[in-house]
Copies of this chain bind each other. A is one copy, B any other.
Amino acid sequence: MNILVAGLGLIGGSTAKALRRAGYTADGFDRPQVTEAAKREKVIGGVCEDTRKYDVVFVALPPDAAMRFIEESSFRDGAVVADFCGIKGEIERRILSKERNFRYVGCHPMAGKEVSGFENSTETLFDGASMIIVRNGQTDAGAVEFLKDLYARMGFSMIRECTAEEHDGKIAYTSQLAHIVSNAYVKSPQANGFYGFTGGSFQDMTRIAGVDEKIWTRLYMLNREAITRELAFLVSQLQQYLGALESGDEAALCALLREGRLRKEELDKERKII
């Protein structure tokens, strides 16, 4: 089986490494200095010269580059082509609107780090993580079964299936909103000289603040509706706490905190049940 990993950054590099650990040798596609390092470290077998050679293609590029790569490449008949982008609606709109000879499956590995690049990729990044597989009317069942098996071998412990719309709505909340909040959080003048004034809360809140604005601005724009809805909701929630604080309404503040605590307990319960 010939496998290609297009894009050898944090996610693509980790994909190639997890595949290698599972006994597969993938080829790679990226800038020469990256593929050279990946080859030297035996993470990839070789550099992609013809995309038609591969049975399986993982596209771990930013959304615009991923869509271009899929649209402009020629693939073998029936090849399984899976992108790993953090938005899915826009990609489906572009890929599914055209005739194609390959089997496209939108996927999104729920793993990451606050640093990027091949040099930060690891073979264990996906261990215990969830992989989202996006289904639509054109999805090939065999391709999904094949990928599920391969993902398990790569270390994923859970598969979630959903539509592109469900995916984009959930991810706007669990990931994209979190990055905005973290990015905004560090801007307080009180952040100066913070060192020694923090426990784990501040570290957790600001870990992902340093987003690459070029990649993330595009992601947000491609999922603008869902992320706008989530951010507006969070701001409206925070304004309730602010109102209670400003007016010194202890009972109102207590009720707001209690509501959040109960919600958190529900979520923790959900985590345990599944």
Using a CB–CB distance below 8 Å, which chain A residues touch chain B?
110-113, 129-130, 132, 158-160, 167, 169-175, 177-191, 193-202, 204-214, 216-217, 220-221, 224, 227-228, 230-235, 237-239, 241-242, 245-246, 248, 250, 253-261, 263-265, 267-268, 270-271, 274
Known: A183-B264, A206-B264. 4 other contacts (CB 8 A): A175-B201, A178-B205, A209-B264, A212-B261
Return chain B residues, CB-CB under 8 Å to A183.
241, 256-257, 260-261, 264
Option from B174, B197, B256, B265 in Cβ contact (under 8 Å) with A160: B197
Return chain B residues, CB-CB under 8 Å to A265.
210
A112-B201 in contact given A196-B132, A234-B185 (Cβ < 8 Å) = yes
As for how many copies of this chain the complex holds, the number is 2
A202-B174 in contact given A191-B267, A221-B250, A239-B235 (Cβ < 8 Å) = yes
- The reply to whether B237 and A238 form a contact with Cβ atoms under 8 Å apart is no
A257 and B256 CA atoms in complex are apart in Å by 29
- The reply to whether A271 and B195 form a contact with Cβ atoms under 8 Å apart is yes
- The reply to whether A211 and B158 form a contact with Cβ atoms under 8 Å apart is no
- The reply to whether A196 and B253 form a contact with Cβ atoms under 8 Å apart is no
A273 and chain B: residue at smallest CB distance: B195
A217 and chain B: residue at smallest CB distance: B254
A41 and B78 CA atoms in complex are apart in Å by 65
- The reply to whether A270 and B195 form a contact with Cβ atoms under 8 Å apart is yes
Option from B130, B171, B199 in Cβ contact (under 8 Å) with A175: B199
